Structure 1
């Protein structure tokens, strides 16, 4: 097992539904440690960088609009194999396909865009986590 740090973004649906504390509690019950946490509005530039792999797609404006509906909460979370374990806790990206007991299965959108309104973004690998943490946290904000 490897000690890792991952980035979690509590998306606007999690913030507006008051789910940040509930979901954070699930992460802490798994033994993960908070290394950094802050609330912020996402600029067009930050979103274009974070979603550079889809920024040229016709659906990107709807992603940008959703991610700017409210502030998000960025979380740097540390633990043994935290990247894979968090993704297991979240369940599949599509909340409609997520099993009960997973975060997305319990709290994700089942009616609308279940792939976008799915409570949290989580890094998908060690390199992505390092880049994403650097993107959302300044020097000295991760402890």
Structure 2
């Protein structure tokens, strides 16, 4: 097992539902350590960079609008194999497919926006985590 740090973004649906603390406690109960935590409003530029793989798609303005509905909470989380374990805790990207007991199964949108309003973004691999952590945290903000 490898000690890793990953990025979690609590999306606007988590913020507006008031479940950030509830979800954060699930991560802590797994033994993960908080290494950075902050609330931030996401600029158009930051979202275009973060979602560069879909920025040219016709649905990107909807994604950008959603991600700017409220500030998000950025979390740097450390633990043994944290990247894959967090993704298992979250469940599938589509909340409608997420089993009860997973974060998305318990809190994600079950309607038409189930792939977008799914509580948290989590890095999908070590290389992605490195890039995303640098994107959302400045030097010295991860301790």
Question: In which range does the TM-score fall when normalised by the shorter chain?
Answer: over 0.9
The structural deviation recorded for 1:12 is 0.1
Q: Structure 2 unaligned runs (5+)?
A: none
The 3-state SS of whatever aligns with 1:133 is helix
Q: 1:15-30 counterparts in 2 under 5 A? A: 15-30=15-30
Structure 1 match to 2:95: 95
**What is the count of residue pairs matched by the alignment?**
143
Matched ranges for 1:1-143 at <5 A = 1-143=1-143
The whole-number CA distance in structure 1 between the counterparts of 2:112 and 2:56 is 23
Deviation at residue 40 of structure 1 after TM alignment:
0.3
Structure 1 length as normaliser, TM-score?
A: 1.00
d(CA) in 2 for partners of 1:112, 1:16: 18
SS where residue 142 of structure 2 aligns? Answer: coil
Runs of 4 or more consecutive aligned structure 1 residues displaced over 6 Å after TM superposition = none
Residue 122 of structure 1: how far off its partner (Å): 0.0
5+ residue gaps in structure 1?
none
